[in-house]
Amino acid sequence: MKHEIDIEKELERSFQQWENLYIYGGSDPFHSDGVNLSLGGNCLMTKILKSGYYETFI
């Protein structure tokens, strides 16, 4: 059985993760924080575009 996903909560959670990485940095020993911020930002933007909520963030 599929669980319905609340896209607004998912986007908020993703943004909070990105913001936490931006403020406190990461702990990945193989990539700099900038690389992880970029990857996280790309993931967040993909979720926003796929959800159709991009007008909310403009």
- Tens digits of pLDDT across the chain (58 residues): 455 567 788 888 888 988 988 888 888 778 777 888 888 888 888 887 887 766 665 5
pLDDT at residue 6, rounded to an integer:
79
Single pTM value for the model: 0.67
The secondary structure of the chain in percent helix, strand, coil, rounded to multiples of 5, reads: 70, 0, 30
Q: Under a CB-based contact definition with an 8 Å cutoff, are residues 36 and 28 in contact? A: yes
Residue ranges covered by each domain of the chain: 8-20+30-57
